[in-house]
Amino acid sequence: MQIFKSLIEKTAYGVCTKIGEKIGLSTRPIRVFFIYTSFLTLGSPVIIYMILAFWMNMRNYARAKRTAVWDL
């Protein structure tokens, strides 16, 4: 069950987890804050979440070691 939970957290809640790691908080209050602000502002934090998720994905892609095409 713990493996499944960590997989879900990495794929679905990567932004909240990363923010929690950076500021030293548990991810639960960050997720609750995100959910409540999404309901109160009619979903505008979802746009911010998607931008942050895209940015994190692009940073991971840029940092990944890529092999050259001609190296076999």
pLDDT at 2: 78
- Could you tell me the pTM of the whole model? 0.60
- Domain annotation covers residue 70: no
- Domain annotation covers residue 37: yes
Q: Measured between alpha carbons, how far is 5 from 9 in angstroms, rounded to an integer?
A: 6
Q: Which domain holds residue 26?
A: 2-63
pLDDT at 59: 74
- Domain annotation covers residue 68: no
Quick one: tokens of 52?
């942050």
Kindly report, residue by residue over 12-69, the tens digit of the pLDDT: 668 888 888 889 998 889 888 888 998 899 888 888 888 888 888 777 777 776 666 6
- Domain annotation covers residue 36: yes
Query: What total number of domains does the chain contain?
Result: 1
